[in-house]
Amino acid sequence: MDPLGAPSQFVDVDELPSWGDSCRDELNSSDTTAEIFQEDTVRSPFLYNKDINGKVVLWKGDVALLNCTAIVNTSNESLTDKNPVSESIFMLAGPDLKEDLQKLKGCRTGEAKLTKGFNLAARFIIHTVGPKYKSRYRTAAESSLYSCYRNVLQLAKEQSMSSVGFCVINSAKRGYPLEDATHIALRTVRRFLEIHGETIEKVVFAVSDLEEATYQKLLPLYFPRSLKEENRSLPYLPADIGNAEGEPVVPERQIRISEKPGAPEDNQEEEDEGLGVDLSFIGSHAFARMEGDIDKQRKLILQGQLSEAALQKQHQRNYNRWLCQARSEDLSDIASLKALYQTGVDNCGRTVMVVVGRNIPVTLIDMDKALLYFIHVMDHIAVKEYVLVYFHTLTSEYNHLDSDFLKKLYDVVDVKYKRNLKAVYFVHPTFRSKVQYFSLCVNMVFYHLFCLRTEGQNPPCGQPPPAVFCHITRTDRLSSFCP
In whole angstroms, how far apart are CA 323 and each of 149, 328, 379, 448? 27, 9, 8, 23
Q: How far is CA 338 from the centre of its chain?
A: 20
Beta bridge partners, 386, equal: 351, 421
CB 326 within 8 A of CB 413: no
Q: What homologous superfamily is domain 13-21+44-236 in, according to CATH? A: Leucine Aminopeptidase, subunit E, domain 1 (3.40.220.10)
Half-sphere exposure (Cβ direction) of 76: Cα atoms closer than 13 Å:
15
Q: E strands within 322-395?
A: 340-345, 351-356, 386-391
What SS3 class is residue 346?
Answer: coil
pLDDT number for residue 366: 87
Which ranges of the chain have pLDDT less than 50? 1, 25-27, 29-36, 40, 265-277, 279-289, 445-462, 472-483
What SS3 class is residue 112?
Answer: strand
Q: Could you give the CA distance from residue 329 to residue 392 in angstroms, rounded to a whole number? A: 28
DSSP structure class, residue 162: S
pLDDT number for residue 305: 57
Q: Could you give the CA distance from residue 50 to residue 11 in angstroms, rounded to a whole number? A: 24
**Nearest residue to 177 via CA among 226, 138, 231, 228:** 138
**Nearest residue to 150 via CA among 180, 118, 111:** 111
Q: Which helix (H) or strand (E) holds 11?
A: strand 11-12
Q: Which fold has domain 330-453+468-474?
A: Phosphatidylinositol Transfer Protein Sec14p (3.40.525)
pTM of the shown model: 0.54
CATH 3.40.220.10 residue window(s) in the chain: 13-21+44-236
pLDDT tens-digit map of 437-449: 566 555 554 444 4
pLDDT number for residue 457: 43
What's the burial of 25, exposed, middle or buried (CB within 10 Å: 0-12/13-18/19+)? Answer: exposed
pLDDT number for residue 453: 43
What's the burial of 2, exposed, middle or buried (CB within 10 Å: 0-12/13-18/19+)? Answer: exposed
CATH 3.40.525.10 residue window(s) in the chain: 330-453+468-474
